[in-house]
Structure 1
Amino acid sequence: MKKIVYDQLEETLYTETLDNGLTVTLLPKNEFHKTYALFTTNYGSIDNTFVPLGKEEMVTVPDGIAHFLEHKLFEKEDGDVFQKFGKLGASANAFTSFTRTSYLFSSTEKVKENLMTLIDFVQDPYFTEETVNKEKGIIAQEIQMYDDEPDWRLFFGLLSNLYPKHPLHIDIAGTVDSIMDITADDLYESYHTFYHPSNMNLFVVGKLDPEKMMQEIRDNQKKKQFSKPEYIVRYFPEETVEDIKAYDSISLSVNRPKSIIGVKGVKIPPTGREGLAYKTKMSVLLSLLFGPTSKNYLELYDSGLIDDSFSYDFTMERSFHFLDVGSDTKEPEKFSKTIKDLLLTAKDSHELNEEHLSLIKKKMIGQHLQSLNSLEYIANQYSQELFGEATLFDMVPIIESIQLEDIKEVAAEFMMEEHISIFTILPKGE
């Protein structure tokens, strides 16, 4: 078991890759009464075209299958796993994103029993055509609920403009039509391909004894048989700048128009620590341009062009990265033009100065250190595999090292007019 000490933060990580390929990371925080565990597979909604385990031909499964699989793993022949966690005094849940699926529990008691329950139910699939068909109606209702959510439609409208070929633009849950095609065989094929221990990681944080817990996990895994690890071949369509749709809109039952502007990253970003630094620089850039300490934000707010719904974000995961800025606005055309102009002139913006950068860095470090008091935040951030050995515990020195020229450089490289798209939701009748 490898021990990694972060002296600055007074944190110690214990990590080990087991014989079957499973990566286990333990973070003792014994000042907490709670323990939080997250069991994650590097498999999400975009992974719908791949070579199945033990086969040679590429297959394409129905959209939404990763999310469907997440739902079905909780149902076993002898009952619902949620009830088992409840009897053990734990709160359990799961979620599917574009690139990963995670199963979790939090508990203040019977941690070993809950941890073994988590590992065992995820590693023991049970699907039948009858239970699969039963679930289709439940998930269809969930999809229809999101179809009626304007902010969800706004976000996926932008993704459809930026990524018209990439499966990123498809709702994580799929469509009502696509989930109707899912079979038990599809679920088993996807499960055995992506739920191999070598494609998964287990992170446990909170009140725990690392030596004892790691041995319990080793013992659990030694009792199980898995096939040999294989490299997973995934396929994503090639896209060009010409594929980006510059503008689109829809009409929904909303009181005020909604507009969002996005910039698609087209160059392959760095990985490892450099990747984490790059993502951080982009986040700093957006905070400089649009954060509450910026003159831009005050002017936008005072003019009534934005309200409290205003938000911005930079997303970077495997096979895609983009930024988005959106708000409810009474003047969607003026809003999108103003934001677009601010993005395209970002490298020369008056917001990019040493004093402002220093303020943003201090604020970001403070927020980061505060977030380390959340076991859930630590586990969710740590379970992302994009940055190799670089973790959230490397964030403070990364933030401290950022210079003004770094920000201007990423602004000049990223903000290209041909990479920009706008999506708007208008009130019905307008």
Structure 2
Amino acid sequence: MVEKFEVRSLQETYYQTTLKNGLRVVIVPKPHYYKTYAMFTTDYGSIDRTFRPLGKKETVTVPDGIAHFLEHKMFEEEWGDVFHTFGEQGASANAYTSFTKTAYLFSSTQEIKKNIVTLLDFVQHPYFTKESVEKEKGIIAQEIRMYDDNPDWEVFFHLLRNLYSDHPVKIDIAGTTESIYEITREDLYMCYETFYHPSNMMLVIVGNVDVDEMMALVRENQEKKSFPKAEPLERIIPTEQKEAVRANTTKRMSVNTPQCLIGWKIAPPNDTGKELLAYELKMDMLLEAIFGPGAGHYEKLYEEGLIDDSFAFEFTMDRTFSFISVGGDTPQPVKLEERIGEIVQQVKENGIPKKDLERVRKKMIGSFLKKFNSLEFIANQYTRYAFSGMNIFDVVPILENMDVTDVLELLHDVFDPSTKSSSYIVPKKSEEENE
């Protein structure tokens, strides 16, 4: 049965159903848009390195980077490259792997039915040969080396390695040049069969489509295929200590301006559904009220020459981990970290005026409504929230009814000095300095 949901606060309607094989299908019709965006996602990412394979009793640990490797290999079929097929059908296709998800997607203004079928068929038809797997290792190794030269990437993952002792979130999503050479064709099939079952996946279509026609197309496509019986997924994540591993690391790279990224590790909340979503929104509101452009602290840091337009802050919350990160380019990374510490302490002691929190709440509502003009935003965020048991369409109602003073209660749980660390990227020493 297809369920219809009308969200008056957003003036949006969406439809969802779960097929017999367990695949969740969500359609958000946008009749006044030319483009359609579709995303086929599995709830499987780089942190899923230890698990019980489908049909097995014992758990295994696979080489780091295998989820990303699998994403690369999925576009190759016996008859050629799937990117070429999408291109012939007027679509732009892509894919990405995160800590917890692997997504395959396309956007197009034409041949939507053909492209939906192509998306479903290639993701549900793995084709790996020993030769092609070996060839891919060199390609991914080159990609890893490229990221090793990216200061934004390096400062981020150095921070995660400073924060986390055992959780696999500290491991680069692509793995290492050593780990990917351990991956075998058999490993890829084992991971695929375990995590790419329809019951662990979701298809989201946003755009100018006929809902009944599209639902019928997807259902017909899936009924032609056979899948093994779904089993509960057993993923093993090590217990993580509360404290950060180390206070700071510094890496020298070929940069003109140093970078500083400060983070606090936070134990994931036990909430679910709307309560979990409300927690995330409160955390976002707290950071915006402290570090946002409308806050006085941001202005002072800017006037002091410690930050520029690269300054950013984020609360990241996903399956089994969460953390805060604050920072950007700065001529004085040590001084910036000191000032951020002073600001946090000041806020802990004095709180945040209610009028400032109300301003942030209204700003978040407006920003969210504006983002709903993006088909990509709707599909990506619907998927992210849904895999965590939340609903993107609850965001505005929760913000509208939120008591902003509840946000201040979070100050007791975050910014614990024992969970804090920082990561610096600084310019390489000149030849004169090395002498």
How high is the TM-score relative to the length of structure 1? 0.97
> Among the aligned pairs, what percent are the same residue?
53
Quote the Cα distance in structure 2 between the aligned partners of 1:348 and 1:406.
16
Alignment-derived partner of residue 262 in structure 1: 263
Instruction: String of CA shifts for 1:321-341, please: whole Å, max 9, x gaps.
Output: 001001222221111121123
Instruction: String of CA shifts for 1:265-295, please: whole Å, max 9, x gaps.
Output: 1253422111111111111111100111111
Quote the Cα distance in structure 1 between the aligned partners of 2:388 and 2:126.
29
Quote the Cα distance in structure 2 between the aligned partners of 1:413 and 1:400.
24
Quote the Cα distance in structure 1 between the aligned partners of 2:15 and 2:267.
36
1:4 partner SS: strand
Alignment-derived partner of residue 341 in structure 1: 342
Alignment of 1:375-414 (within 5 A): 375-385=375-385, 390-414=390-414
2:310 partner SS: coil
Alignment of 1:22-421 (within 5 A): 22-242=23-243, 244-349=245-350, 352-385=352-385, 390-421=390-421
**1:402 maps to amino acid:** M
**2:148 maps to amino acid:** D
The question of whether the paired residues in 1 share the 8 Å contact of 2:244 and 2:421 is answered with no
**2:399 maps to amino acid:** I
**1:88 maps to amino acid:** Q
Instruction: String of CA shifts for 1:12-34, please: whole Å, max 9, x gaps.
Output: 11111111000001111111111
Quote the Cα distance in structure 1 between the aligned partners of 2:260 and 2:347.
20
Moved more, 321-330 or 372-381: 321-330
Q: Is there any run of 5+ residues in structure 2 with no aligned partner, and where?
A: none
The question of whether the paired residues in 1 share the 8 Å contact of 2:268 and 2:322 is answered with no
Aligned-pair RMSD on alpha carbons? 1.4
**1:178 maps to amino acid:** S
Shift of 1:148: 0.3
Quote the Cα distance in structure 2 between the aligned partners of 1:163 and 1:229.
33
Matched, 1:428 2:428: yes
The question of whether the paired residues in 2 share the 8 Å contact of 1:29 and 1:205 is answered with yes
- Return closer, same or farther for 1:388/1:249 CA change in 2, 3 Å cut-off: closer
Quote the Cα distance in structure 1 between the aligned partners of 2:332 and 2:110.
53
2:384 partner SS: coil
- Return closer, same or farther for 1:344/1:193 CA change in 2, 3 Å cut-off: farther
Number of equivalences: 429
Shift of 1:411: 1.7
Moved more, 25-34 or 385-394: 385-394
- Return closer, same or farther for 1:260/1:215 CA change in 2, 3 Å cut-off: same
Shift of 1:130: 0.2
Quote the Cα distance in structure 2 between the aligned partners of 1:373 and 1:409.
33
Shift of 1:200: 0.2
The question of whether the paired residues in 2 share the 8 Å contact of 1:156 and 1:170 is answered with yes
Moved more, 356-365 or 214-223: 356-365
Quote the Cα distance in structure 1 between the aligned partners of 2:268 and 2:314.
18
1:384 partner SS: helix
How high is the TM-score relative to the length of structure 2? 0.96
The question of whether the paired residues in 1 share the 8 Å contact of 2:244 and 2:418 is answered with no
1:425 partner SS: strand
**2:416 maps to amino acid:** M
- Return closer, same or farther for 1:389/1:133 CA change in 2, 3 Å cut-off: closer
Shift of 1:8: 2.0
**2:373 maps to amino acid:** N
Quote the Cα distance in structure 1 between the aligned partners of 2:131 and 2:344.
52
The question of whether the paired residues in 2 share the 8 Å contact of 1:317 and 1:386 is answered with no
The question of whether the paired residues in 1 share the 8 Å contact of 2:163 and 2:243 is answered with no
The question of whether the paired residues in 1 share the 8 Å contact of 2:258 and 2:333 is answered with yes
**1:401 maps to amino acid:** N
The question of whether the paired residues in 1 share the 8 Å contact of 2:37 and 2:206 is answered with yes
Instruction: String of CA shifts for 1:374-403, please: whole Å, max 9, x gaps.
Output: 000000000114575642221112112232
The question of whether the paired residues in 2 share the 8 Å contact of 1:34 and 1:207 is answered with yes
